[in-house]
Structure 1
Amino acid sequence: MQQVYEATDVGLVRKGNEDNLAVLENVHVYAVADGMGGEAAGDVASQMLVDTVREMLCGRESVGEDDLCQAVIQANRAIRQYVVEHPGCEGMGTTATLLHIDDQSDSGSWAHVGDSRLYVLRQGSMVLEQITRDHSYVEDLVREGTITPEEAKTHPQRNMLTRAVGALENLPVDSGQLAVHGGDIFLLATDGLMKHVPDEEIVRLLRAGTENPARALVDAALSDGGTDNVTAVVVSLL
């Protein structure tokens, strides 16, 4: 059984919310998207991503890793076509982080583009495990050993993505499968959360037993300054 919580907020600085989320409880598919492109374009891109996820997956009898990837690829095509029809939106795009959990097989699958993230907090653990890898300039520098993870948090180009839905004609989509167990907690979040809430505090809030842990996480980001839109989806396996 899965208990799902969700929350999103414009934050304390931005004028509009370019984040979007999708919770498809009938097929146990969850997604977050962080749009980019300025004015309304970012909001449109992230909305197109979650709309495509709903349209392609909501009515399916089963969902697999490839289905998640195909939804992201179809959204990429749709966004690129939108730019052709609306040249003023050149440069628009979105992150995409998708998760499917299959109660019957105790397994899950995921698909990912950009710098939103998927985490898991395993039953009995106090260590937050990051499943996805950021597609960003600073993440590449960290992996190369050029800068440290701490330096990446304040790097002037920390928001520069190397991959986004809508940015490439042939979009590579990271994906994978994982085992799931009762007591596991999964978190999908946009970078507005990670900018303000350290892993240790995320773990504490996920373990705190609050009525809506996703809302608690978003509120923590706002309390620290809320400089970006922030979105969280929490999936607890009972």
Structure 2
Amino acid sequence: MLAFAQSDIGMVRKTNEDSYIFSPPHLFLVADGMGGHVAGEIASNLGANTIQEYIKKCKQQFDWEQILKEAIIQANAIIYQMSQSKSECLGMGTTLTAIYAEGSEIFWGHVGDSRLYLIRDNILQQITNDHSLVGELVQSGSITADEALVHPHRNILTRAVGTSDTICVDSGRFLQQPGDRLLLCTDGLTNMMSEQEILSICLRPENPQTIVNKLVEQANQAGGYDNITAIVVEYRD
């Protein structure tokens, strides 16, 4: 396995509210915080660290899909509790997209509009669904993916970690094949680049570090209106 991660503040924002966990060969996670002042940064960091600590306590377990769901539910409870106890954190939340790799098997858990992609056989497949207003419009066929990129309400989430006392977590699992690449990223990347542009970079015969650097560079060249976080994991048998 080869992997690399990078988080960039972008060209407009004054703070980076994204967080990530890069813990090869097993745990990889991206989170995009939301909330006033520093609350988004607090939410994403708290969510990411909660999941990492939860995973560490479950090393002897094997149902990693269920464990990821439980970890995200715990992160939701902790973030929500803090948002209710501190006025400066009221309403804060975060997206969370995480994978746990166990050999050739990938387990994933997801809430929000950060994304997990699988690149296989020259195809970019979005594994996660966006929990956002435009994501639901795309899924229903009301608008196209290209229209979603410029939709005026593209930043409205319909589900996030920490904004309610309960949370519904999407999850799943699949088997990797030699040559597969996985991309975890926040919407600071996907709002700046089309999926065809992302695919063209991810297909390059270069290492994950070069791929991630190029993705971030191109997102910034397109405007860099948001924080950008990307992790690329390449599976080798």
Deviation at 1:170, TM superposition (A): 1.4
Residue 23 of structure 1 corresponds to 22
TM-score (norm 2): 0.93
Residue 189 of structure 2 corresponds to 193
Q: Unaligned stretches of 5+ in structure 2?
A: none
Deviation at 1:91, TM superposition (A): 1.1
Deviation at 1:53, TM superposition (A): 1.5
The answer to which of 215-224 and 51-60 deviates more is 51-60
Please state if 1:166 is matched with 2:162.
yes
Residue 88 of structure 1 corresponds to 88
**Equivalent position SS for 2:231:** strand
Residue 233 of structure 2 corresponds to 235
Cα RMSD (Å): 1.4
Please state if 1:183 is matched with 2:179.
yes
Residue 98 of structure 2 corresponds to 98
The answer to which of 151-160 and 56-65 deviates more is 56-65
Deviation at 1:209, TM superposition (A): 3.4
Question: Could you tell me how far apart the structure 1 residues matched to 2:136 and 2:199 are?
Answer: 26
Alignment of 1:1-238 (within 5 A): 2-25=1-24, 28-58=26-56, 60-62=59-61, 64-103=64-103, 106-122=104-120, 125-211=121-207, 212=209, 213-238=211-236
Contact conserved, 1:210 with 1:216, CA < 8 A, in 2? Answer: no
Deviation at 1:232, TM superposition (A): 0.2
Deviation at 1:61, TM superposition (A): 3.6
Contact conserved, 1:24 with 1:58, CA < 8 A, in 2? Answer: no
Question: Could you tell me how far apart the structure 2 residues matched to 1:83 and 1:41 are?
Answer: 9
The answer to which of 63-72 and 206-215 deviates more is 206-215
Q: Percent identity among equivalent residues?
A: 42
TM-score (norm 1): 0.93
Contact conserved, 1:20 with 1:47, CA < 8 A, in 2? Answer: yes
Query: Number of matched residues?
Result: 232
Question: Could you tell me how far apart the structure 1 residues matched to 2:196 and 2:143 are?
Answer: 22
Q: Unaligned stretches of 5+ in structure 1?
A: none
